Structure 1
Amino acid sequence: MTATRRFTREVMTAWAVAAALPQAERVAADLVEQVADEPFEVIWKHFGDAVQVELRQRTAPAGDPKGPSVEVEEWGITFAGDSRVHWARLTLPGSSDRESSEWLEEAARGPHWLGFLADASDLLAGTLDPDMVPAIIAQIVVPRLANWCAVYTSDSALGPLRLTYLWHADEARIDGLRADLSEIQVNHADPRVASTIHLDGAPVLAVPLTARGRALGMMCLGRTDRFTEDVVQFAEDIGRRAALAMDNARLYAQQAAANRALQRSLLPPNEPEVPGLDYGVVYEPAGETNEVGGDFYDLFKADESWRFAIGDVCGTGPEAAAVTGLARHTLRLLAREGYGVAAVLGRLNQAILEEGERARFLTLLHGDITPVESGLEVRLVSAGHPEALRLKPSGVVETVTTPQSLLGVFPEVVFEADTVHLDHGDVLLAVTDGVTERRTGGRLLDDDGGLAKLLAECVGLSARAVAERIRRGAEDFAPEPSADDLAILVLRAR
């Protein structure tokens, strides 16, 4: 009951219909008192001159439904899918036009308007989803400034405008309004000022949405009475804030899309079939914008064997991506030229050093896989990378690589390959430091052989299941999201 009362107050306050609050609280309480002892949902709807509360529940209560104890416009029981809806509609004191006028008179005195602008700015700044901004715009101005709002956007400054979102104080009139709007032409107007057009004889205020000198769209407001200077001023002010929020969301989405496209280009284009090998991979870049990470992996064909790699470039962003691209292409090119894994790393080290100031340190585990009758023969080099682990079907876990110098530091380094045999059922695990250095307090995941203990729990699992188990273990190790990229590569001899 307390949660319903609090929700009702928040809704009435947001809709600026505080005069109806006592009656709305009583109606909602009357409906809640009749619910069955099962979960239920309370929904408020605004119809311009009325508000409606709906209580949705799958289980019908015993006994006949009762109407509210206060006077309402109407009430009843309907069914939506498998839910029973007990609803009641309240007439608001005055029409929505009068409501808007009263609000505007109060707003014109100053503090109320400033508070509304601050709330509107917070709402608009609260999302970076370009598809959500038009919906927020419309629901900010309705019913406070207008009976309805239509938001038009375009893909370019000179492109045609299209209706992106439409909202009316009376939801039942949205479809009819949409049909009416399809008959009028909305064009890019003067990006500096609002203008008035007409729809069925009623004025429509067209407010350009312009940010950083670019025309992004139009916000059209409809009322049954004229638009006063205060309304125009308020609408233009919100339009400027809305346009900036829309532009920020678009730029964020474009950057995120570019990062994802670049990241995909740095990862294997497909999952090859390797004879005698079951493998699993997990890759998760860190960052809210899916920023291009420094971790990468690869698995590809080279002559009579197969090559794999998992690496971690120092840093993120374009600089790290450049080294990642250099590493992947160099590994593939030299492998096809017949160079062994140790020779490949020596030449890659030299190529990174030749990048000069643009160079980044790189840790890398690189190896080749040759199917043999008893399983898989693996030759691999660990250049400053976290140790690779082998899991036997008996549950024994052991380190199988010799630590060697990371890449991009010393010009005269010589690498040597380790040879590891994987019997049928053996698992080889390679990870980046996003796993081993996952931190909670002063403790790392790999302290006291933490990674080996996780791997020991994976006896009998497929390669994909092992990779997912390690990922979940790293995620659960600390409550906060990881600030580092994460890559996991699991090779299992069939």
Structure 2
Amino acid sequence: MTSTLRAVLAASFAAGDTAVPEVKRFTHEVLTAWAAMSMVEDAQRVAETLVAAVPIGSFEVRWLHKGDSLQIEVKELGQEQSSPIDAPDWGVTYHGTDRTRWARLDLPGGVAAEEVTERVAGPGWLGFLADASDLLAGTLNPDMVPAIIAQIVVPRLASWCAVYTAEQHGGPLQLAYVWHADESRTDALRAELDELVMPAADDPAELNVAGWQALGFPLTARGRRLGLMCLGRHDRFPDEVRQLAEDLSRRCALALDNARLYAQQAAANRALQRSLLPLEEPKVPGLDSAVIYEPAGETNEVGGDFYDLFPVSDGVWRFAIGDVCGTGPEAAAVTGLARHTLRLLAREGYGVAAVVGRLNQAILEEGDRARFLTLLHGEITLARGGLDIRLVSAGHPEALRLRPSGVVETVASPQSLLGVFPEAQFEAEAVWLGPGDVLLGVTDGVTERRAGPRLLDDDSGLAKLLAECVDLSARAVAERIRRAVQDFAPEPSADDLAILVLRAP
């Protein structure tokens, strides 16, 4: 065999703790692409030795395929000259201040030049694996992953692919997706595979599918068997295809596991969020009310915004709208504490200010787990000719009252937010809602909605929006505010949103 250069694959790295494992991973992918897996351990050991000698800074790793041998070069930039490595087929070369350490490994029996050229033509197998990883990382929907797996494999590695999944580790396999290079044959293939019982093997294995050479590759991630990737073709599977499929199956399994974990977490978040809000929108006799709650983000992570509206006694109701700092379990813990404390103390006869004061102490007693909370809490008494409200605004965006004349005014003076000052004292203020009057409470997902440098509430933006809502029902007011928040900027909101509207009939 001649030592004519047939292919080069290169990547850049930074010296440090992660350099060696990253270079070893790159080396594995290179030898997979060149179907030289029998040399992976030796190649990784040589690569580790060369990279370990890189002191600081960035460096480039180049693998060269020379037909009968592989050569690795580790090029350092701007390093002082030193003695070359004294070992057969090793060396150090210099160009100016650049130093390149290199080593050569003979291929067992050599590899035909035509075969090398075929394997690295176009994007090559390394590019195929990189593209496959990108596609798999592009979805977190567990129902989509089997379809992506099948369409990655066909027709590059096989004539058809069937993906089986197991609901639980070690559980029975169910056919999730089938894809054939000839789409007209997909249904017939699915019917045939439905009649077969696929083995739950731990290693790649040949499968008995009539008329096909078929291989099954287990989808195992983090010690859990999630399913099986079954490939079929008319001719035998070349060794490099087997190796690629095995590598790909590990990536597919990890993508499927990540998607399942994501879906489970999203479902848990939604269940937790529902537990922190009223089961259904409350209806108060003699009061026109509406609430809107929208969590931010695609994952619907448990947010810190909440609302409540509940009866205390005949003709007397309490309401609350609040915002806990942050999101996730810690915020949810404070949200749950606030909602249950408000209800419990209100029904035990504590006034609005006393309830807020005791909630402040309860949050402080949470210690390091505590999160500060802004809260608008009030009591509604149905009275002849309107609504009598006692209100505390604890560090919360200001509550607004809309008169039938179109006048908008702030009600309730700002007081200390909760969970910060042990000595904080609170006082309830009286607010009267006559016929047609509207009381609006929102969280900062409304007031701080951002479009570039501007906020929605700049220059009393929220008050101006509310002034346009004369003669609208509570539901119509809430929807008008929600749409304004949505339309204020083209990008989705990054904060939760809660809106509470009370209107005296």
Measured against the shorter chain, the TM-score band is: 0.7 to 0.9
1:414 match: 425
1:210 match: 220
For residue 199 of structure 1, give the secondary structure of its aligned residue in structure 2. Answer: coil
Amino acid at match of 2:493: S
Match for 1:447 among 433, 453, 458? 458
2:79 match: none
2:244 match: 234
Give, in whole Å, the separation in 2 of the partners of 1:302 and 1:235. 65
Q: Is the 8 A contact 1:103 1:144 kept in 2?
A: no
1:460 match: 471
Q: Post-superposition shift, 1:108?
A: 6.3
Match for 1:179 among 185, 191, 199? 191
2:161 pairs with 1:149: yes
Q: Is the 8 A contact 1:160 1:187 kept in 2?
A: no
1:132 match: 144
Q: Is the 8 A contact 1:284 1:485 kept in 2?
A: yes
- Return 281-290 or 317-326, whichever deviates more: 281-290
Q: Post-superposition shift, 1:109?
A: 6.5
For residue 378 of structure 1, give the secondary structure of its aligned residue in structure 2. Answer: strand
Give, in whole Å, the separation in 1 of the partners of 2:245 and 2:390. 69
Q: Is the 8 A contact 1:370 1:378 kept in 2?
A: yes
Give, in whole Å, the separation in 2 of the partners of 1:303 and 1:293. 30
Amino acid at match of 2:166: S
1:43-442 counterparts in 2 under 5 A?
A: 106-107=118-119, 112-190=124-202, 193-304=203-314, 305-442=316-453
2:477 pairs with 1:477: no
Q: Cα 1:310–1:104, aligned 2, differ >3 Å: closer, same or farther?
A: farther
1:87 match: none
Give, in whole Å, the separation in 1 of the partners of 2:370 and 2:357. 16
Amino acid at match of 2:339: R
Q: Cα 1:307–1:229, aligned 2, differ >3 Å: closer, same or farther?
A: same
Amino acid at match of 2:214: V
Give, in whole Å, the separation in 1 of the partners of 2:337 and 2:405. 40
- Return 428-437 or 104-113, whichever deviates more: 104-113
Give, in whole Å, the separation in 2 of the partners of 1:326 and 1:145. 56
For residue 460 of structure 2, give the secondary structure of its aligned residue in structure 1. Answer: helix
Give, in whole Å, the separation in 2 of the partners of 1:176 and 1:357. 61
Give, in whole Å, the separation in 2 of the partners of 1:214 and 1:107. 33
Give, in whole Å, the separation in 2 of the partners of 1:243 and 1:134. 10
Amino acid at match of 1:133: V
Give, in whole Å, the separation in 2 of the partners of 1:308 and 1:349. 17
Q: Is the 8 A contact 1:303 1:338 kept in 2?
A: no
Q: 4+ residue stretches of structure 1 with deviation over 6 A? A: 102-105
Q: Post-superposition shift, 1:412?
A: 2.2
Give, in whole Å, the separation in 1 of the partners of 2:340 and 2:116. 64
Q: Post-superposition shift, 1:479?
A: 2.8
Q: Is the 8 A contact 1:432 1:486 kept in 2?
A: yes
Q: Post-superposition shift, 1:447?
A: 1.7
Q: Post-superposition shift, 1:119?
A: 1.1
Question: Which deviations, in whole Å up to 9, do the C-alpha atoms of 1:284-323 show, x marking residues without a partner?
Answer: 2223321111111011111131110000111111111111
Question: Which deviations, in whole Å up to 9, do the C-alpha atoms of 1:118-168 show, x marking residues without a partner?
Answer: 111111111111111100000111112111111000111111000001111
- Return 225-234 or 158-167, whichever deviates more: 225-234
Q: Post-superposition shift, 1:201?
A: 4.2
Q: Is the 8 A contact 1:148 1:221 kept in 2?
A: yes
Q: Cα 1:327–1:104, aligned 2, differ >3 Å: closer, same or farther?
A: farther
Amino acid at match of 2:302: V
Give, in whole Å, the separation in 1 of the partners of 2:328 and 2:195. 48
What is the TM-score when the length of structure 1 is the normalising length? Answer: 0.76
Question: Pairwise CA RMSD of aligned residues?
Answer: 1.8
Q: Post-superposition shift, 1:217?
A: 0.3
Give, in whole Å, the separation in 2 of the partners of 1:390 and 1:266. 27
Residue segments in structure 2 that go unaligned for 5+ positions in a row: 1-113
Q: Is the 8 A contact 1:306 1:370 kept in 2?
A: yes
Q: Post-superposition shift, 1:104?
A: 11
Amino acid at match of 1:215: R
Residue segments in structure 1 that go unaligned for 5+ positions in a row: 1-101
Q: Post-superposition shift, 1:361?
A: 0.9
Q: Cα 1:435–1:260, aligned 2, differ >3 Å: closer, same or farther?
A: same
Q: Is the 8 A contact 2:281 2:291 kept in 1?
A: no
Q: Is the 8 A contact 1:299 1:308 kept in 2?
A: yes
For residue 140 of structure 2, give the secondary structure of its aligned residue in structure 1. Answer: coil
Q: Is the 8 A contact 2:269 2:302 kept in 1?
A: yes
Q: Post-superposition shift, 1:281?
A: 1.3
Q: Is the 8 A contact 1:380 1:418 kept in 2?
A: yes
2:54 match: none
Q: Is the 8 A contact 1:108 1:230 kept in 2?
A: no
Q: Is the 8 A contact 1:188 1:208 kept in 2?
A: yes
Q: Cα 1:366–1:185, aligned 2, differ >3 Å: closer, same or farther?
A: same
Give, in whole Å, the separation in 2 of the partners of 1:363 and 1:247. 38
Q: Is the 8 A contact 2:283 2:289 kept in 1?
A: no
Q: Is the 8 A contact 1:363 1:383 kept in 2?
A: yes
For residue 452 of structure 1, give the secondary structure of its aligned residue in structure 2. Answer: helix
Give, in whole Å, the separation in 1 of the partners of 2:489 and 2:192. 55
Amino acid at match of 1:257: A
Percent same amino acid among aligned pairs? 77
Question: Which deviations, in whole Å up to 9, do the C-alpha atoms of 1:69-117 show, x marking residues without a partner?
Answer: xxxxxxxxxxxxxxxxxxxxxxxxxxxxxxxxx9998336795111111
Q: Cα 1:412–1:184, aligned 2, differ >3 Å: closer, same or farther?
A: same
Give, in whole Å, the separation in 1 of the partners of 2:424 and 2:123. 70
Amino acid at match of 1:234: L
For residue 143 of structure 2, give the secondary structure of its aligned residue in structure 1. Answer: coil
For residue 196 of structure 1, give the secondary structure of its aligned residue in structure 2. Answer: strand
Give, in whole Å, the separation in 1 of the partners of 2:273 and 2:432. 33
For residue 340 of structure 2, give the secondary structure of its aligned residue in structure 1. Answer: helix
Give, in whole Å, the separation in 2 of the partners of 1:475 and 1:209. 42
2:84 match: none
